[in-house]
Amino acid sequence: MTRHDGRLADQLRPISVQRGFTRHAEGSYLYSSGNTIVLCTASIEPRVPPWLEGKGKGWVTAEYNMLPGSTRPRKPRDRGAKIDGRTTEIQRLIGRSLRAIVDLTALGEQMITVDCDVLQADGGTRTASITGAYLALHDAIESLRQQDLLPNADAAPIIDSVAAVSVGLVDGVALLDLDYQEDLVAAVDMNVVMTGKGRFVEVQGTGEEATFSEDELHALLGLARGGIKSLSELQQHELSR
């Protein structure tokens, strides 16, 4: 099938990355996947949550938010403790994904919070957030290393990379990296999070008033694996610059 934007079935949307987008966060990236744009910032605090105090381990957590103008119609701001269920689910997913590739003991008793703020949404905001969040986290931990603020200079807190992508079945065809228009009509929608070494962190797959076979599942996972391999290579290229 021909996709509405001219991409092949196994083709990612164009990716662009702007490093050091803000001044104050230790890690900061403006990450764009097609028309989805996310600002990912990583900030360090010399403390850990109360339940981790004195245990010699650090913590990595995440917050996710869609700015009011990121969608049409306008999305109301979350106020106080009133955070919608989708936001809570996504920020927990981002946090789990990042902690999967961090040695918290090597981080020491300090906390890194990665904020993912969606400036513009066109599908795949959670997967773009995870992929950009890894870059911001990497730079934050590198700043700790350069300042000699890690408990063991020989132990690297980051043990792998992590990236995420969506896949889905549209008109019976497996597609990689769905935008909003494709996601809206997908019979099956799946978000896949994997490490750079090819290990799964999380797979979220749902049939939207449809079912899918084991062969279709394998096809979707194969597409996701190829897409994440490309994203991991892009991450490493950006970090090596």
pLDDT recorded at residue 82: 67
Assigned domain for 69 exists: yes
Assigned domain for 106 exists: yes
* Predicted confidence (pLDDT) at residue 168 exceeds the cutoff of 90: yes
* Predicted confidence (pLDDT) at residue 81 exceeds the cutoff of 70: no
Domain extent at residue 210: 15-240
Domain count, the chain: 1
Q: Strands across the sheet with 162-170, in order?
A: 173-176, 162-170, 188-195, 200-207
Assigned domain for 2 exists: no
Segment 174-203 mean pLDDT: 97
Assigned domain for 215 exists: yes
pLDDT recorded at residue 80: 64
Q: Are 169 and 72 in contact (CB under 8 A)?
A: no
Distance CA 229, CA 165 (A): 10
* Predicted confidence (pLDDT) at residue 155 exceeds the cutoff of 80: yes
Assigned domain for 86 exists: yes
Residues 6+ positions from 54 with CB-CB distance below 8 Å: none
Q: What is the phi/psi pair of residue 191, to 5°?
A: -115, 130
Whole-number percent of the chain with pLDDT over 90: 89
**What is this structure's pTM?**
0.96
Q: Are 46 and 53 in contact (CB under 8 A)?
A: no
Closest to 107 (Cα-Cα) out of 45, 150, 62, 44: 150
Q: What is the CATH number of the domain that holds 57?
A: 3.30.230.70
pLDDT recorded at residue 154: 83
